[in-house]
Chain A
Amino acid sequence: MRVAVIGAGVIGLSSALCIHEQFHSLLPSLQLEIYADHFTPHTTSDGAAGLWQPYLSDHGNLQETLWNKETFDYLLGQLHSPAAKEMGLFLISGYNLFTEPVPDPSWKNIVLGFRNLTPKELELFPGYSYGWFNTALMLEGRSYLPWLTNRLTQRGVKFFHKKVESFQEVSGDGVDVVLNCSGMRAGNLQPDPELQPGRGQIIKVLAPWVKHFIITHNLKSGIYNSPYIIPGSEFTVLGGIYQHGNWSEENSAKDHKSIWDSCCRLLPALQKAKIVGEWSGLRPARPSVRLERERIRLGNLQGEVIHNYGHGGFGITIHWGCAMAAARLFGSVLQDKRQLSTPPGPRL
Chain B
Amino acid sequence: MASPKVAVVGAGLIGLSTALCITETCPSCSVTVLSDQFSPNTMSDVAAGMLIPHTYPDTPIHRQKQWFKETFTYLFAISNSAEASEAGIHLVSGWQVFKSPPKEELPFWSDIVLGFRPMSKAELQRFPQHRFGQAFTTLKCDCPPYLLWLEKRLKATGTQMYTRKVEDLWELRREYDIVVNCAGLGAQQLVGDKELFPVRGQVLKVHAPWVKLFIRDGDGLTYIYPGVHRVTLGGTREKGSWSLSPDAGTTRDIFDRCCSLEPSLQGAQDIEVKVGLRPSMQCVRVQREVLSQGGVKLPVVHNYGHGAGGFSVHRGTANEAAHLVGECISVLQGSSSRAKL
Query: Which residues of A come within 8 Å of B, CB atoms?
Result: 79-82, 84-86, 88, 90-93, 112-113, 115, 117-118, 120-121, 123-124, 133, 135, 138, 207-212, 231, 233-234, 268-269, 271-273
Contacts and interface: CB of A to CB of B under 8 A. Distances in A.
Contact of B212 (A85, A231, A272): A231
Interface stretch (B6-14, B79-87, B148-156, B168-176): B79-87
Interface stretch (B51-59, B262-270, B318-326): B262-270
B209 interface: yes
B117 interface: yes
B85 A209 contact: yes
A209 B84 contact: yes
A113 B83 contact: no
B85 A113 contact: no
A64 B79 CA distance: 38
A121 B212 contact: no
**Best-surrounded residue of A80, A88, A113, A273 (most CB of chain B within 10 A):** A113
> Most chain-A CB neighbours within 10 Å: which of B84, B86, B211?
B84
26 contacts: A80-B126, A90-B212, A112-B122, A113-B120, A113-B123, A113-B135, A115-B115, A121-B114, A121-B137, A124-B80, A133-B115, A138-B210, A211-B90, A211-B91, A211-B212, A212-B93, A233-B209, A233-B210, A268-B80, A268-B81, A268-B84, A269-B81, A269-B82, A271-B82, A272-B82, A273-B85
Consensus secondary structure, chain B interface:
mixed
A84 B264 CA distance: 7
B198 interface: no
Nearest to B209: A233
B229 interface: yes
B221 interface: no
Residue of A123, A133, A207, A209 most packed against chain B (CB within 10 A): A209
Given A115-B117, A211-B93, 12 more contacts: A85-B264, A86-B267, A93-B137, A113-B120, A113-B135, A121-B114, A138-B210, A207-B85, A208-B228, A211-B91, A211-B226, A233-B210
Interface in B65-96: 79-86, 88-94
Nearest to A233: B210
Given A93-B93, A212-B93, A269 B209 contact: no
Interface string B136-158: 01000010000000000000000
Nearest to B116: A118
B90 A210 contact: yes
Given A207-B85, A211-B226, A92 B80 contact: no
Contacts of B126: 79-80
B85 A269 contact: yes
Contact of A211 (B80, B88, B92): B92
A92 B94 CA distance: 9
B1 interface: no
A206 to B, nearest CB: 10
A122 B209 CA distance: 27
B213 interface: yes
Given A84-B264, A118-B114, A210-B90, A268 B82 contact: yes
B283 interface: no
A287 to B, nearest CB: 31
Contacts of B93: 93, 133, 135, 211-212
A85 B207 CA distance: 13
A269 B84 contact: yes
B119 interface: yes
Contacts of B92: 211
Interface string B203-218: 0000001111100000
B240 to A, nearest CB: 36
B139 to A, nearest CB: 11
Contacts of A82: 263, 266
Interface string B9-46: 00000000000000000000000000000000000000
A215 B272 CA distance: 35
A82 B123 CA distance: 20
A258 to B, nearest CB: 20
Contacts of A118: 114-115
| Residue of A84, A120, A233, A269 with highest tally of chain B CB at under 10 A | A269
Contacts of A90: 210-212, 264
A79 B122 CA distance: 14
Contacts of B85: 207, 209, 269, 272-273
A92 B209 CA distance: 12
Given A91-B212, A272-B85, A209 B115 contact: no
Contacts of B226: 211
Contacts of A208: 209, 228-229
Interface string B108-139: 00000011010110110010000000010100
A92 B263 contact: no
B194 to A, nearest CB: 41
A135 B94 CA distance: 9
Name the residue among B122, B226, B266 with the largest chain A CB count within 10 angstroms: B122
A186 to B, nearest CB: 33
A209 B90 contact: yes
Given A112-B120, A209-B228, A135 B213 contact: yes
Nearest to B230: A208
A178 to B, nearest CB: 36
A238 B114 CA distance: 25
Contacts of A268: 80-82, 84
B91 A212 contact: yes
